[in-house]
Amino acid sequence: MDGQDRRVKRTQRLLARALIALTLEKGYEAVTIRDITERADIGYATFFRHYRDKDALLREVSEVVLAELTAHFPGSPDADAVTVGTTLFRYVQEHQNIIRVLLSIHGSHAPLQHIVALTTQELLQMYAPKEDSIVPIEVAINHLIQSSIVLIRWWLEHDMPYPPEHMGHIYDQLIDRPTRALAFGPLRHEYPAQ
């Protein structure tokens, strides 16, 4: 069974890499399942043993990215924002092709919407709203996430002109620090420590 699991994972990796490469070359909408299987050197019917359609493959790619990002972040929810930002931009640098694909896809199957929704829910569970803030916590969290995405997009579009460590400081000063100061209260007591 272990050998079969490895073959399944290998097939899924090949299909994901093919999807990413083809999307960067010609755009997601233009990519067909036949294109993906030919690029991956996998049988056409084999694709459907793993995925219903290319959107299902894309969803899995985005879930892997989210899981990896979560695993890379410092364990404590009150970790230093510079460290968080540096970790984020280091991940983006190391996985820039996948991130470019996720940022490029719009519409009903945009994986970024799923990532934003999951991250929003996680942060809403983590932090209480700041008392007497004019900005509701859900608005602040959305701003934090969307601003981070815009900063990542700018960095990639400009060929990553600053190292991840510098971007960590920019993230802290421009996005994290002012947003938290304005609307984030304390960590929720019921949030489990990492």
How sure is the predictor about 194, in pLDDT bands with cuts at 50, 70 and 90?
very low
pLDDT digits (tens, 9 = 90+) for 109-131: 677 888 888 889 988 998 899 99
Q: 18: closest CA among 4, 7, 43, 157?
A: 43
Q: How far is CA 141 from CA 55, 73, 111, 166, in A?
A: 27, 17, 18, 23
CATH number for the region 59-185 comes to 1.10.357
- The average pLDDT across 125-145 equals 94
- Per-domain boundaries in the chain: 1-51, 59-185
Whether 40 has a pLDDT exceeding 70, the answer reads yes
Helix runs in 33-72, H state only: 33-40, 44-50, 54-72
Q: What is the pLDDT of residue 31?
A: 96
Q: Give residue 160's region: left, alpha or beta (phi > 0; psi -120 to 50).
A: left
Token output for 141: 């969290």
User: Are the folds of 1-51 and 59-185 the same?
Assistant: no
**Contact by Cβ (8 Å): 86, 123:** no
CA distance 93 to 70: 16
CATH topology of domain 1-51: Arc Repressor Mutant, subunit A (1.10.10)
How sure is the predictor about 58, in pLDDT bands with cuts at 50, 70 and 90?
very high
The lowest-confidence range among 55-59, 176-180, 184-188 is 184-188
How sure is the predictor about 71, in pLDDT bands with cuts at 50, 70 and 90?
confident
CA distance 174 to 185: 19
Max CA pair span of the chain: 60
pLDDT digits (tens, 9 = 90+) for 29-39: 999 999 999 99
Residue type, 130: K
3-state SS class at 101: helix
